[in-house]
A = this chain, B = another copy of it.
């Protein structure tokens, strides 16, 4: 280890170095290939050093997942904010595309966000908060579509929307969607449009 590297870690950068290394390691071989010792090797520290910043291996994965949800929420928010104010179908489609793009582009983080059973027990409240933040971006947008509908209805619509978006990402990542036209960015819109239309019509009928 260079003196410069040692200084960085002594100033608290090891935590970030570990998180960045984790994402890279996960990108290469998925959660199965992610080991504490290999991560430490790459970052250039003894494998015990990670325990200074994370309680255990799962805590590193939980931190990666929480970062992922925050980045996802930001991307979803940016997508709707860049859309026309009164085109509800297009606004929601734009958010759906943002979601799917995130999942495909950030495969390593995305798989951790939905993969291992991280929030079985009540550990990792930071992860819970990050998940809630991303759900709130969606709920706020659905509320614009139907301002006077009961909140359970908004929640049901949000679950339908997230189901479709997450499901599509999964089909992409597991290569169930792989024909040439299905890999085009526009294909997500082709698949989502009828679904989102159905959700909007249903909200309108309830109002």
Contact = CB atoms under 8 A, between A and B. Distances in A.
A61 to B, nearest CB: 10
A167 interface: yes
Interface string A55-95: 00000000000000000000000000000000000000000
Contact of A198 (B32, B116, B177, B197): B197
B190 A194 contact: no
Interface in A117-154: 117, 119, 131, 135, 152
B167 A181 contact: no
Contact of A201 (B164, B165, B176, B197): B197
Contacts of A171: 159, 162-163, 166
Q: Which of A117, A131, A199 neighbours the largest number of chain B CB atoms within 10 Å of its CB?
A: A117
Contact of A195 (B155, B176, B195): B195
A166 B162 CA distance: 11
Taking the full assembly, how many copies of this chain does it contain?
2
Nearest to A58: B32
Counting chain A residues whose Cβ lies within 8 A of the other chain, the interface size class is 35 or more
B163 A167 contact: yes
Nearest to A160: B191
Given A193-B202, A199-B195, A202-B197, A116 B162 contact: no
Contacts of A198: 194-199, 201
A195 B161 CA distance: 9
A2 interface: no
15 contacts: A119-B175, A152-B181, A159-B168, A160-B194, A163-B164, A163-B168, A163-B171, A164-B164, A166-B171, A167-B168, A167-B170, A193-B202, A195-B199, A196-B198, A197-B198
Complex A-B, nearest 5 residue pairs according to Cβ-Cβ distance, in ascending order: A198-B198, A163-B167, A167-B167, A194-B202, A166-B167
